[in-house]
């Protein structure tokens, strides 16, 4: 009992006191969290799918990255957004590089994006297909918008890198086929900003004046060599696609290898499998043109020779049906000479007879003289009549010798009306005409030779 009382009267040992917690204000704890987060996550890569992406009027991008379990807000400031390889679009899986910052006013945190790239080829292909559907729906790929490539351009504009095999292949191929003026607008063909510079080059070529100091190209070649889908991605960007669509100069695309198909291939006027193939589309082969021209020239000369040979044969055939004018005149001249000879002979006979009569009628000199004078007058009249029957005499009296288009003498109005053309000979020359007077309007008869 005493022991029990002793225990009860003994003071109980005191329990150790807990250390006193530090007290923070809201601002202080927010600052501590901000310091910890921004120090711990000042450079980080986050993989996720973009959703809720929007661009503010200021040029900044606001978006979120998500996976199957969580979401994180993100922002990309205007200066960085201009240098991104890909444009932030909903559904695109990306890897964003940047830093985590906190916003004390809302007790939230976000990723400030400094770089962004597509996560894997699959995501790029998905984005490529979505853009293809979008542009096709807008009509950017319609065949009705395609322009015809000029057959023989004087100047060829090329948009590609100034270094590398692409421009050398194009120059070499053009010189081999048909030497033409090549105007290069050098641009980067991959990496940040490449798409904007390619689009600017296409627009720049289109803005050249027709008669300016720099020759405006007749056709453009946009080209680069092979590479990965990421390397070729600038040729899928909207800025390039719309620049090609709005180009008034026909465009040949030659991006990557033959198996690579970019969106620029759908919107361009002609798609070439390689840069060398683009040069072949741009110009024909000069040697083939020269051979073709030579063949055409030979065929043309042969055709001309056959044409004139056929007409010469026709003319010769027609000429055989034309009367021989010289022969006709000779016949009339011979008749005239015969009449003159017979007239002289008759005159001699007449004179002889009259002389005989005079000898027998010396007593009748006055009568003989009268008869002689009368016979002389008759002789004169006969001479005049003989002269009047000659061709030239008849023509000088106002008559005309009418022949048809076959050089046959026309003897009647009916024959004249049947002829397509008439030749009328007068004393001082000939004229050619066509019968236009109706039969009832004709007065008199044509002179008949």
pLDDT in tens, 106-134: 888 999 999 888 776 677 787 888 889 99
Q: Are 186 and 161 in contact (CB under 8 A)?
A: yes
pTM: 0.50
Dihedral sign, CA of 261, 263, 268, 274? Answer: negative
Pair (113, 157) in one structural domain: no
Pair (308, 402) in one structural domain: no
Q: Are 447 and 399 in contact (CB under 8 A)?
A: yes
Could you give the number of structural domains in the chain? 4
Pair (310, 185) in one structural domain: no
**Residue 85 falls inside a structural domain:** yes
Chain segment 158-207, per-residue pLDDT in tens: 999 998 899 999 999 999 999 899 999 999 998 878 999 999 999 999 99
CA gap 146, 265 in Å, rounded: 12
**Residue 206 falls inside a structural domain:** yes
Pair (237, 345) in one structural domain: no
Pair (260, 290) in one structural domain: no
Pair (302, 353) in one structural domain: no
| Residue 377 binned pLDDT confidence (cut-offs 50, 70, 90) | confident
Where does a domain end: 276, 299, 320? 320
Domain containing residue 215: CATH number: 3.40.50.261
Where does a domain end: 284, 312, 341? 284
β-sheet with 219-224: strand ranges across: 181-186, 155-160, 219-224, 251-255, 270-271
**Residue 127 falls inside a structural domain:** no
Pair (150, 267) in one structural domain: yes
Chain segment 255-282, per-residue pLDDT in tens: 988 777 899 999 999 999 999 999 999 9
**Residue 63 falls inside a structural domain:** yes
Strands annotated E in 104-179: 108-118, 155-160
CA gap 199, 217 in Å, rounded: 16
Domain containing residue 37: CATH number: 2.40.50.140
**Residue 56 falls inside a structural domain:** yes
Q: Are 204 and 255 in contact (CB under 8 A)?
A: no
**Residue 137 falls inside a structural domain:** no
Q: Are 225 and 124 in contact (CB under 8 A)?
A: no
**Residue 18 falls inside a structural domain:** no
Pair (310, 261) in one structural domain: no
CA gap 135, 266 in Å, rounded: 10
pLDDT at 280: 92
pLDDT at 5: 34
Pair (357, 372) in one structural domain: yes
Q: What b-and-e string marks burial along 349-361, b requiring 16 or more CB atoms within 10 Å of the CB?
A: eeeeeeeeebeee
Chain segment 378-403, per-residue pLDDT in tens: 888 888 777 777 777 888 888 888 88
Pair (90, 109) in one structural domain: yes
Pair (257, 346) in one structural domain: no
| Residue 44 binned pLDDT confidence (cut-offs 50, 70, 90) | very high
Pair (290, 194) in one structural domain: no
**Residue 256 falls inside a structural domain:** yes
Q: Give the domain range for residue 83.
A: 26-118
For the chain, state the CA radius of gyration: 57
């Amino acid at each position: 009992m005493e022991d029990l009382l002793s225990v009860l009267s003994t003071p109980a040992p005191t329990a150790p006191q807990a250390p006193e917690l530090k007290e923070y204000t809201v601002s202080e704890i927010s600052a501590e969290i901000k310091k910890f987060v921004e120090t711990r996550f000042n450079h980080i890569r986050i993989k996720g799918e973009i959703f809720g992406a929007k661009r503010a009027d200021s040029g900044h991008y606001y978006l979120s990255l998500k996976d199957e379990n969580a979401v994180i807000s993100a922002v990309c400031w205007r200066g960085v957004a201009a240098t991104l390889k890909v444009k932030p679009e909903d559904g695109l899986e990306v890897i964003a590089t940047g830093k985590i910052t906190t916003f004390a006013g809302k007790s939230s945190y976000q990723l400030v994006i400094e770089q962004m790239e597509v996560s894997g080829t699959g995501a790029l292909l998905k984005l490529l297909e979505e853009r293809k559907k979008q542009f096709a729906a807008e009509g950017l790929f319609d065949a009705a918008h395609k322009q015809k490539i000029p057959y023989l351009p004087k100047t060829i504009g090329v948009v590609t890198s100034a270094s590398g095999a692409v421009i050398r292949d194009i120059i070499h191929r053009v010189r081999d086929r048909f030497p033409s003026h090549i105007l290069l607008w050098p641009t980067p063909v991959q990496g940040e900003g490449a798409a904007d510079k390619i689009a600017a080059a296409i627009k720049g070529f289109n803005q050249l004046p027709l008669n300016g100091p720099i020759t405006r190209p007749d056709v453009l070649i946009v080209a680069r060599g092979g590479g990965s889908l990421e390397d070729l991605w600038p040729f899928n960007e909207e800025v390039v696609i719309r620049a090609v669509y709005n180009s008034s100069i026909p465009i040949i695309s030659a991006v990557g290898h033959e198996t690579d198909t970019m969106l620029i291939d759908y919107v361009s006027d002609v798609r070439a499998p390689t840069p060398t193939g683009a040069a072949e589309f741009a110009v024909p082969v000069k040697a083939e043109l020269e051979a073709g021209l030579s063949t055409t020239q030979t065929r043309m000369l042969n055709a001309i020779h056959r044409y004139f040979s056929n007409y010469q044969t026709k003319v010769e055939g027609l000429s055989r049906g034309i009367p021989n004018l010289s022969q006709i005149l000779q016949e009339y001249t011979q008749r005239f000479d015969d009449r003159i000879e017979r007239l002289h002979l008759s005159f001699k006979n007449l004179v002889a007879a009259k002389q005989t009569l005079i000898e027998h009628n010396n007593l009748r000199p006055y009568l003989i003289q009268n008869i002689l004078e009368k016979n002389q007058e008759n002789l004169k009249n006969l001479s005049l009549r003989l002269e009047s029957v000659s061709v030239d005499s008849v023509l000088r009296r106002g008559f005309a010798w009418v022949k048809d288009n076959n050089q046959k003498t026309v003897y009647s109005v009916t024959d004249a009306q049947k002829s397509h053309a008439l030749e009328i000979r007068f004393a001082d020359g000939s004229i050619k005409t066509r019968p236009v007077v109706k039969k009832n309007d004709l007065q008199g008869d044509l002179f008949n030779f």
